[in-house]
């Protein structure tokens, strides 16, 4: 799904290989492809998708999706929490028991009781709290107006993380550094996969409601019907 010259384009193709990705790009006209300046992709950049994209829109820049970056950082925090919780439980310390969601929630979405408990947790001298601070501090990267300032923030952040003695977070920081050029392209093309992720959630709900489909053609029709914003009001409706 994409917005090109004011028109919304939606199509579904079967498979996760390069042929399927190429088929998807081929549903766009040459003129539509000529307007594509950038494409948002996850950092794992599934090679078949990347190859098909490079062939279809060779001039487009690749932007790493900020929401997937957030996902990687959340996973890092959770790995720190799981490891620390196991160690604390061996000493009969239950401080981290049942706190998984608190470290992953946006504090703005917490209830008052959740916030009060989380406020106490994040002020403790524990590794999980430091990992959470690392995750939160990175979020400021996206708030800069210019790539140069964002890079300075990243350099400071990276130096802190690699000295944090949290290998789970350091591993993610090193991955982000390898992809820093694509991360900085965001400041030229502020695009994300947020809308696509929303469509994916709806598609999974469609699949679950139907308890699966016997063939892809029916699956595709159902997706286009429910996600295509179809106007089903007859043109010559009479009373």
**CB-CB contact of 18 with 51 (8 Å):** yes
pLDDT one-digit tens code per residue, 55-113: 999 999 999 989 889 999 999 999 999 999 999 999 999 999 999 999 998 888 889 99
pLDDT one-digit tens code per residue, 136-166: 999 999 999 999 999 999 999 999 999 999 9
Q: In a 10 Å sphere around its CB, with 0-12 CB exposed, 13-18 middle and 19+ buried, how is residue 121 labelled? A: middle
pLDDT one-digit tens code per residue, 162-181: 999 999 999 999 999 999 99
How far from chain centre, in Å, is Cα 32?
Answer: 25
pTM of the model: 0.77
* pLDDT value at residue 205: 81
Q: How far apart are CA 103 and CA 81, in angstroms?
A: 9
Helices (H), the chain: 18-25, 30-34, 47-56, 66-90, 100-104, 112-122, 127-138, 147-162, 167-178, 180-184, 194-210, 216-227
pLDDT band at 222 (very low <50, low <70, confident <90, very high): confident
pLDDT band at 2 (very low <50, low <70, confident <90, very high): very low
Q: How far apart are CA 177 and CA 159, in angstroms?
A: 11
What are the beta bridge partners of residue 38?
61
pLDDT one-digit tens code per residue, 5-48: 444 556 777 888 899 889 889 988 899 999 999 998 887 767 88
Q: How far apart are CA 33 and CA 47, in angstroms?
A: 20
* pLDDT value at residue 109: 86
Q: If you search the block for the tokens 């929490």, which residue do you land on?
A: 81
Instruction: Retrieve residue 161's tokens.
Output: 């993380």
């Amino acid at each position: 799904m994409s917005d090109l010259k004011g028109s919304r384009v939606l199509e579904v193709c079967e498979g996760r290989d390069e042929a399927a990705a190429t088929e998807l790009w081929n549903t766009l006209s040459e003129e539509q492809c000529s307007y594509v300046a950038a494409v948002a992709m996850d950092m794992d950049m599934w090679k078949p998708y990347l190859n098909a994209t490079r062939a279809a829109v060779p001039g487009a820049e690749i932007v790493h999706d900020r929401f997937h970056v957030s996902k990687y950082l959340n996973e890092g925090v959770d790995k720190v929490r799981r490891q620390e919780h196991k160690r604390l439980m061996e000493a009969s310390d239950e401080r981290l028991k049942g706190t998984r969601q608190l470290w992953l929630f946006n504090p703005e979405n917490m209830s008052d009781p959740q916030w009060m408990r989380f406020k106490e947790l994040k002020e403790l001298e524990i590794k999980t709290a430091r990992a959470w601070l690392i995750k939160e501090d990175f979020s400021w990267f996206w708030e800069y107006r210019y790539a140069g300032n964002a890079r300075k923030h990243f350099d400071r952040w990276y130096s802190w993380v690699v000295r944090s003695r949290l290998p789970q977070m350091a591993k993610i920081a090193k991955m982000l550094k390898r992809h820093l050029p694509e991360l900085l392209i965001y400041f030229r093309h502020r695009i994300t996969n947020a809308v696509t992720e929303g469509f994916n959630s709806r598609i999974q709900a469609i699949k679950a409601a139907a308890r699966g489909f016997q063939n892809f053609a029916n699956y595709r029709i159902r997706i286009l019907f429910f996600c295509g914003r179809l106007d089903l009001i007859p043109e010559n409706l009479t009373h």
